[in-house]
Structures are given as C-alpha cells and as structure tokens.
C-alpha cells in the first residue's frame, strides 16, 4: 500500500474532529439543524487551518438522505467525496479566467443526479481575475435553489466587495500551540511513535498555527528518528537553535560576561546559523522570561513543566528593565540586519549593547545599589585661593558658583575594577542646601544645579514668558481698515483684490462684521486664512470672531448696467407702429405676418 502523509491520512471526517475551529463548525451544524443553510459561503483564514476540510464536510453532509440525523450520529463520515458527481471542486489558482467561470456556470444549470444539492467548492478564490469575478457575480447572487457555493481563500482583502456581500463569511483562526500538541500526541499514539512534550512544542511553534505544516514536520522527524521523536532530533533536523543557547546567553548578559557572549555567538555561527536567527530566538527567550515573571502570564508558556521551571528560575534573576532593553535592542538589530554590510559585527555590537545595558555612566542618588566606574579627582586652585577642607561647608548652588571658587578639574587615573564609591557627606540640618565637598579621593563632583537654583530658573522663565506675552488690544475699525488695505495691496489676483475692495467692514461689540454682495464673495473671503491670522495677531486675540454676511441691498452701485428686457414680437410691432404709422401699410404690401 502506498504511503499517505499524515495531513491526508488523518484529515478530519467529522466536524468534531476539526481542531481549533469550534466557532465555525458549531455555527454550520446549527444552520443545518435549523434549516437555515445559506447558498454561498466564504471561508477565510491562514493556510492549513481547515478551510477546505470544512468545505468538504459541509458538501458531504448536505447530500445525505437525512442531514440532521447524519450530523447527530456522524454517519456522513462514511461517504466518499471523490466519487460524488454532485460535488465540483475548482482550483482558482490554475483556473482563473472568464472561460473557466463560464464553464462552471454551465454546470450550475444541471440539477444534481442524487441528493438535494449540487456543491461547488472554489479554492484560492482570490486568484480569480477581475473579469472572472464580474462574470460570477450574477450566478453567485441568485443561484438555482439546488446550488451551493463554498469559496475558500487565504487573502480576504483581495476579494471584491461585491463578492463579499453575497456570501456568509467565516473567519478561521490560527490553531493554538496546545491544540496542535494534543493532536500530534493522538496521531503519535495511533502510529506507535514515542514523543517528548518539548519536541512537540517546538514542532507546534514552528508550524505557526497551521495543522498541515505541523503534520508535515511531524512526518519528517518521524522518518528521520525511527519510532521516537526527541527534542534533540527535532533541533537537529529542523536546524533550529536549542533553548540552552538562549539560557546561556542570558546568563552571560546577567554576569556582563562579554567574552563568553562573543564565544557563544561564534559557536552559533560556526554551526551554520544566521545572526538574525539567534537575535530572533533571543527576543523570544526574553519574551518568555517576561511572561514567567508574573503569575497571570505564566499560563501563556505552553511548554513542559521542566522547561517552564527553568524559565521561572531565570526570570527571578533578571529585571523587567533588562528584559525590555534586550527586547528593544534585539528588535532593532533584526530590523537593521538586512542593511548591515558586516552582519557578524552587527550582531556582536547588538549583543554587547544588551550585555552592558544595565551599567550607568554617572553616580545616582544615595541609597541606590549601583557601582559606577570610579574616577579620582584632584582639586586645582590658584595660589591666591585655598581649596576648602572637609570641615568647611560651602554650598554648591549652580554653575554661577564658579565665580567665587576655582573650577574643579577631574583627572582620570587607573583604578581597580571593584573599587567602591565613597559616600558624600550628609548635609547639616541647619543648612539644608549646603553640600560638603568631597575629599580628594572621593567621587567626582558633578556640576548639578540644586533645588533652589532650579526654582530660581523657573521663576525667571515665568517672568520672561509673562513679559513676552502681549495684552489683548481693543478692536477698532481704523486698525481693521489699515490691515485690510495693506493685505489687499499685496494680492496679485485682480479678482480677489476686487472682491476684498468692495466689502463693507464694521466692528460690533468687539466682533468684526464683513458684508459682501454675494455668496461667491463670501466664499472667496473665507479662503483668505492669512488675512484672518493677521487681524487676530494684531489684536492678540486668537478667538476673535470675524463674521461674513451677504446683503445685496447694501450694494446699489453694483446693479447690472444695461439690463436687457426680453420683449415679445407683438411688443416690438406696437413699438414700431408708435414710431411710424406706415408700418401697417408696409406689412400689407409685403404680405408679412407677425411671429406668434
């Protein structure tokens, strides 16, 4: 007997066997039980999640003698879709022309030979051409009562809205990792294959929510490792990085062991892996550590208890800040990886940044357990100025204090790696702003402003802002006219200039009222945003109301000149007759007639 891959051998024969799509299968079964079956379905979702399988199950069950009874007892699993003449499958990827759709429409005209319905399954329907979609619209909207259309696609956004509106849409989801693991365990038990949970977890994660991909990987590993699937066999055959690499990398990061981290990435690269693969894996490892730090998110770790305990133990030794920094740097390294000329150096620099991300360059407030790099300082002063002693208390306020004392020059000297930073003496209670200068061997003094100096700076800024603010100015018609005239003088368009010149301006209750003769003039003025801004800036009133009204009566001088009156032929005749009575005689001699 020929070998059949697991994806075909264990294709679900019942709606209950479809993994991870209960929201779809339950809706379809209820529609059949309640006699509410639609004439067109559209199944959307990623690859390998059961779209075609559900389409075939629906096609089988509706042609059973008693569909309701078949759903309840599962007898439709025995029917064979391949020998049914009432089920037509079309691959739109290779049959996407108008002629193919016309052939399908011709088949729709023939009634089913057996059963109640003739089912047309069109897979990858998004591959149809624009003309093919349009040719299919009428048949899809009003098919014969015995025709059922089931469309399947992985790219819903490519389907025309006119097609979407004629179908019942069902969105298929990616299958959860735990559901894939359960299905793989059941198939392994039927095939007599021994498996490790962590190995199935890696397969399910690699499948990216697709059961067909998971079964393909499962068959590949099963063929390579005889009758036992272990984590090591999965790692070797799929050429993926083991969890241990990332646990070791995290340990090096916590210890700031740059040498060990570089040696680890060197080993990874020598094993044939790409640098971006390692960075992506490190980012996923950091994400799992973040999940492990909080009890509510620990359930998102769908792995064996042994591996989960390793994550939880390591998460206790790493802070959220380190995790977020590592995620950010790893993500940025992945984005910049394709553009890097020396990709190995790019990855190594990113790892070194992560390794030393928690180190701070400057000392922080007292009480924090951070040991910055120590620098020795020496106080340099002129002969006329004596450096303060440890018993003297000289307040350090801000940079202005340098006028009374000589600047402090820091001189870097080699120190031991684990040298401790001496604490700065506490200020005296009577002078809270005074800080005792450190001894020559103490940590360097930072020229940092004190709280009092910051308050002074804020007050100065407030005074400067208040002085720079202008007071609101009363609106006067004289100022408005001047601004208006200056603005019109700078306009190049003769039409706009003419409209702005003919308006009537008034100031009423602090509001500017502009009167124009027509709606066209009002629209033209409302488009002059700069004119509005100039007026409001001049009076320093950002909310100054400028209203434009239309009043034709206030512009009598704009009456249309030489208004032409339309007269009738009879009125023309009367006018000519009044001017010359001989008009009647002329009309009679020439036998003329008046126009009606």
How many whole angstroms from its chain centre is CA 527?
36
Residue 465 is predicted with a pLDDT of: 53
SS3 of residue 125 by DSSP: helix
What's the maximum distance between 2 C-alpha atoms anywhere in the chain?
A: 138
Residue 367 is predicted with a pLDDT of: 42
Domain ranges of the chain: 6-171, 177-238, 243-355, 477-557, 564-596
**Dihedral sign, CA of 238, 239, 241, 242?**
positive
What does each C-alpha distance from 461 to 136, 449, 468, 547 come to in angstroms?
Answer: 71, 16, 10, 38
Phi, psi of 212 (to 5 degrees): -65, -40
Q: Which architecture characterizes domain 177-238 according to CATH?
A: Orthogonal Bundle (1.10)
SS3 of residue 43 by DSSP: strand
**Dihedral sign, CA of 175, 178, 179, 184?**
positive
CA–CA dist 389, 1 (Å, integer): 97
Q: Retrieve residue 590's tokens.
A: 């020439």
Total residue count of the chain as it appears in this document:
596
CATH (one of 3.30.300, 2.40.50, 3.40.390, 1.10.10) for 477-557 = 3.30.300
Residue 171 is predicted with a pLDDT of: 92
Beta strands 40-44; 168-171: pairing state: parallel
CA–CA dist 186, 388 (Å, integer): 81
Residue 559 is predicted with a pLDDT of: 54
Prediction pTM value: 0.53
Q: Retrieve residue 264's tokens.
A: 């680890």
Other Cβ atoms within 10 Å of 444 Cβ, number: 19
Can you tell me which residue has the tokens 């298929």? Answer: 172
Q: Cβ(427)–Cβ(407) under 8 Å?
A: no
CA–CA dist 21, 182 (Å, integer): 15
Task: Report the chain (596 residues): mean pLDDT per 10 consecutive residues.
Answer: 81 89 91 89 91 90 85 80 77 88 89 84 90 89 90 91 91 90 91 87 87 90 83 82 87 90 91 88 92 87 82 89 91 91 92 81 41 40 40 40 40 42 44 48 46 60 55 84 87 81 86 87 83 86 86 72 62 82 81 72
SS3 of residue 500 by DSSP: helix
Question: Going by CATH, does the domain composed of 6-171 fall within 3.40.50.300?
Answer: yes
User: Which class would CATH give 243-355?
Assistant: mainly alpha
In the chain, the N- to C-terminal Cα span, in Å, equals 102
Print the SS3 string covering 364-402: CCCCCCCCCCCCCEECCCCCCCCCCCCCCCCCCCCHHHH
Sheet strand arrangement including 546-550: 504-508, 511-516, 546-550
Beta strands 504-508; 511-516: pairing state: antiparallel
């Amino acid at each position: 007997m020929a070998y059949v891959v697991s994806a075909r051998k264990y294709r679900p024969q019942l709606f209950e066997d479809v993994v991870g799509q209960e929201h779809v299968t339950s809706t379809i079964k209820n529609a059949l039980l309640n006699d509410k079956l639609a004439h067109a379905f559209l199944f959307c979702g990623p690859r390998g999640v059961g779209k075609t399988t559900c389409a075939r199950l629906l096609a089988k069950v509706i042609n059973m003698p008693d569909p309701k009874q078949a759903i309840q007892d599962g007898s439709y699993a025995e029917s064979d879709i391949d020998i049914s003449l009432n089920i037509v499958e079309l691959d739109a990827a290779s049959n996407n022309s108008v002629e193919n759709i016309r052939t399908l429409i011709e088949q729709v005209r023939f009634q089913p030979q057996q059963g109640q319905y003739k089912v047309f399954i069109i897979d990858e329907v998004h591959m149809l051409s624009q003309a093919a979609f349009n040719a299919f619209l009428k048949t899809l909207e009003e098919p014969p009562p015995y025709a059922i259309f089931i469309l399947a696609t992985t790219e819903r956004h490519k389907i025309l809205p006119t097609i979407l509106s004629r179908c019942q849409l069902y969105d298929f989801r990616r299958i959860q990792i735990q559901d894939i693991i359960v299905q793989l365990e059941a198939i392994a038990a039927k095939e007599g294959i021994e498996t490790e949970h962590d190995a199935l977890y890696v397969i399910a994660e690699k499948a990216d929510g697709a059961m067909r991909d998971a079964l393909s990987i499962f068959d590949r590993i099963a063929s390579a490792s005889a009758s036992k699937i272990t984590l090591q066999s999965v790692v070797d055959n799929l050429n993926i990085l083991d969890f241990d690499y990332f646990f070791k990398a995290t340990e090096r990061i916590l210890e700031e062991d740059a040498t060990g981290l570089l040696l680890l990435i060197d080993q990874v690269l020598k094993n044939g892996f790409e640098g971006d693969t390692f960075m992506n894996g490190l980012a996923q490892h950091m994400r799992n550590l973040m999940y492990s730090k909080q009890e509510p998110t620990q359930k998102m770790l769908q792995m064996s208890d042994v591996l989960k305990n390793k994550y939880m133990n390591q998460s206790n030794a790493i802070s959220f800040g380190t995790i977020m920094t590592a995620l950010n740097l790893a993500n940025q390294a992945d984005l910049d990886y394709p553009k890097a000329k020396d990709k190995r150096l790019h990855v190594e620099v990113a790892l070194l940044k992560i390794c030393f991300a928690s180190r701070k360059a400057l000392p922080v407030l007292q009480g924090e357990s951070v040991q910055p790099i120590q620098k020795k300082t020496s106080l340099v002063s002129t002969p006329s100025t004596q450096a303060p002693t440890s018993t003297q208390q000289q307040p350090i306020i801000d940079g202005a204090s340098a006028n009374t004392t000589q600047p402090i020059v820091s001189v870097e000297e080699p120190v031991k790696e684990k040298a401790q930073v001496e604490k700065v003496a506490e200020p005296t209670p009577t002078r809270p702003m005074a800080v005792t200068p450190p001894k020559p061997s103490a940590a360097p003094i930072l020229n940092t402003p004190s709280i009092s100096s910051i308050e002074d700076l804020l007050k100065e800024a407030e005074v400067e802002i208040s002085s720079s603010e202008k007071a609101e100015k009363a609106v006067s018609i004289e100022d408005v006219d001047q601004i208006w005239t200056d603005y019109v003088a700078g306009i190049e368009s003769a039409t706009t200039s003419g409209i702005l010149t003919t308006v009537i301006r008034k100031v009423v209750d602090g509001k500017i009222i502009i009167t124009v003769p027509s709606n066209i003039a009002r629209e033209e003025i409302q488009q002059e945003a700069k004119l509005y801004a100039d007026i409001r800036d001049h009076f320093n009133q950002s909310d100054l109301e400028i209203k434009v009204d239309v009043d034709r009566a206030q512009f009598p001088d704009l009456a249309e000149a030489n208004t032409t009156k339309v007269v009738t032929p009879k009125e023309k005749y009367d006018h000519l007759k009044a001017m010359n009575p001989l008009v009647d005689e002329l009309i009679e001699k020439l036998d003329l007639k008046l126009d009606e």
